[in-house]
Structure 1
């Protein structure tokens, strides 16, 4: 492999999980040119990865908006422009880590003569020259990417998620901390928000945990999230005045830097939580309807999962909206796990 294209366009957590795959490619093929096809906004996660030579952006949201507007010919022009861009890369190998039709189509569009698909489905397997089943120990973080790396004979090394921040994002985060009177390591990130209601913890849980964290560890709770999380964050913060609410106030790069400099992190199944493990921050992950891993690979990271009979249900809850897998997690339980990881060395 001399010119390699990784296709993993989204989402934040999945890009974090996939990050060690690029490093394994680089160790095995130190002289290769490695590109990563990814969506704008998420691309900052790999922008400073020493294993990746270039980012190629797939503006999915723009294409979708044009399609909804009925501008089919413009979409076709965009597709052909991306095809030209990819062909100019002269990739001999494209590796689809997503395994969906959209990602398989992008790998095929690259023109790479060798196209490897991980768990290819939705018909994307017919666009691959090699479709490899997902495998590995599902309890281990990044297991499916590790399994693929092993099947390809790559030097897997430690194979743990890792992120490399932009200096500007790091400086911005440190400046914000100073403005809030917070020191690096002097706060605990609460990563409370994600994409589906069955993955959320309760407002009351966060509100009870916040004073416990500050009283027992001295860490100030800092709530992070995106612009869409502002209202939910305000509801949590209104009954927990010791929380510093930064939901919607930071971009992804600054949020990642705030995670990196945190003294601890408690979060649900969301990208920011997985970043905590990537940065080796003492982390407690609260899982219920999903359980992507229970083996974190870090002594200072633990998963709190009740292992109910109906869990993980993923996208098909059977509890009628009760979500006991999350609502039954108590603040004291979370605090016990947090005290444990704080005692462990990275």
Structure 2
């Protein structure tokens, strides 16, 4: 209660004059989960102004969101280029210009929701009087006015963001979940792309791809799931992913016996969000596309093994399949020699049974 009182009366301002900067520049999945903070912040601080600092590639995730008053684009790659090439003057100039722009907005509160040195630096550059961030082993603690933990051990989706909200006195209701919106333009172009590949009606989304192999499920099983969804529910499956996943997607399509098509590498972030929103069901591994299912209340089956970011969401139609082994979750340091037994233990039958539950 002490935090709640101090934040609501911060520097004697009314909530309608309150300006908040959320700093979560990347990546897609993390931004999706952090979006769960938007509604509680707006409800707790009515009329407040919320800006979100993002890398350019991820700005489409939030550009249609009515609760985000401003997207602040951080040109991270330009800063990195200056640093790597030893262009100290150029980097200093970029820092100063960005800081000047941020400080002109007169933020009251910066929420550093990443726990990295660079995000702490960005919070400090913003000039926000109150700068709250997650504890970690990264340097830059003195750049913040308050460091907080990620909260007690929890299997709730986005539990660290829930804890951050509690720390700044925001009131969270029973439904705490990612919150995304899509544009009319993305809806129109996504619909055209679906029709182009022969999907005029209901469909399932399959999201098999992510950046780390230990988070992948067995390739053959995706084709099996696609065939079973067609047999049981008369729906085709659409594969989604990035351009680096095209060859793997072709392999799944080839084994699916005509029950699966691919838009891998052929959708923008906004179109991907739309396709997830309109899907009858989504089956995916630990990746941003899967987390989007919770944002749009799309019936979702999430397959976790080497990572287990959450077991529970506030969505009744979102099920997590996870077999905890003595070695899991290993996160970035698998010890199984590439066998990934935790993912292998998830059977096709288990996935299909879970799908039947959320589709009935």
- TM class by shorter chain equals over 0.9
* Cα distance in structure 2, aligned partners of 1:165 and 1:342: 23
Aligned twin of 1:253: 270
| Equivalent of residue 123 in structure 1, options 139, 142, 147 | 139
Aligned twin of 1:22: 38
| SS of the residue 1:41 aligns to | helix
- Deviation of residue 73 (structure 1)? 2.9
Q: Deviations over 1:278-308 (max 9, x none)?
A: 1111100000000001112211110011111
Moved more, 238-247 or 289-298: 238-247
**Is 2:63 aligned against 1:43?**
no
Aligned twin of 2:13: none
* Pair 1:236–1:64, CA change in 2 (3 A): farther
* Cα distance in structure 2, aligned partners of 1:271 and 1:255: 10
Moved more, 232-241 or 323-332: 232-241
- Deviation of residue 65 (structure 1)? 3.3
Do 1:3 and 1:93's aligned partners in 2 also have CA atoms closer than 8 Å? yes
TM-score under structure 1 normalisation? 0.95
Unaligned runs of 5+ in 2: 1-9, 11-17
Do 2:156 and 2:312's aligned partners in 1 also have CA atoms closer than 8 Å? yes
* Cα distance in structure 2, aligned partners of 1:222 and 1:56: 33
Do 2:151 and 2:163's aligned partners in 1 also have CA atoms closer than 8 Å? yes
Superposed, 1:1-346 pairs within 5 Å as 2-136=18-152, 138-157=154-173, 158-184=175-201, 186-240=202-256, 241-343=258-360
Unaligned runs of 5+ in 1: none
Do 1:288 and 1:305's aligned partners in 2 also have CA atoms closer than 8 Å? yes
Aligned twin of 2:6: none
Do 1:267 and 1:284's aligned partners in 2 also have CA atoms closer than 8 Å? yes
Do 1:120 and 1:132's aligned partners in 2 also have CA atoms closer than 8 Å? no
* Cα distance in structure 1, aligned partners of 2:146 and 2:206: 41
CA RMSD of aligned residues (A): 1.5
- Deviation of residue 338 (structure 1)? 0.9
TM-score under structure 2 normalisation? 0.91
| SS of the residue 2:267 aligns to | coil
Do 2:215 and 2:304's aligned partners in 1 also have CA atoms closer than 8 Å? yes
Q: Deviations over 1:154-191 (max 9, x none)?
A: 1212221110112211111122223333235x110000
- Deviation of residue 120 (structure 1)? 4.3
Q: Deviations over 1:11-33 (max 9, x none)?
A: 11111111121221111112221
Do 2:38 and 2:67's aligned partners in 1 also have CA atoms closer than 8 Å? yes
* Cα distance in structure 1, aligned partners of 2:88 and 2:34: 33
Do 2:177 and 2:313's aligned partners in 1 also have CA atoms closer than 8 Å? no
Do 2:223 and 2:253's aligned partners in 1 also have CA atoms closer than 8 Å? yes
Do 2:38 and 2:179's aligned partners in 1 also have CA atoms closer than 8 Å? no
